[in-house]
Structure 1
Amino acid sequence: MLLFYTHAKSKFEHTSVVVGQYLKMWLLSSSEV
């Protein structure tokens, strides 16, 4: 159970990082236009 929690937590953190970088890129590209 604990192993599943830590795996889900790391997966969620990885997704947050990817989404954050995508949003940052989108904001930069939209501000250039």
Structure 2
Amino acid sequence: RIFQILILSQARERNINYSWIFTIYVPMVTG
């Protein structure tokens, strides 16, 4: 269960990073 928690925490961090990339990269492409 501990490993699952670590994987979930990493997945959350990755999702946050992707959201930041989208918020920064998309405006540059569309702008």
Matches within 5 A, 1:20-31: 20-27=23-30, 29=31
Whichever of the two has the greater Rg, that structure is 1
TM-score by length of structure 2 reads 0.67
The number of aligned residues is 28
- Where in structure 2 are there 5+ consecutive unaligned residues? none
Counting aligned pairs with the same residue, the percent is 18
CA-atom RMSD, angstroms? 1.2
TM-score, normalising length from structure 1? 0.65
The amino acid of 1:12's aligned partner reads N
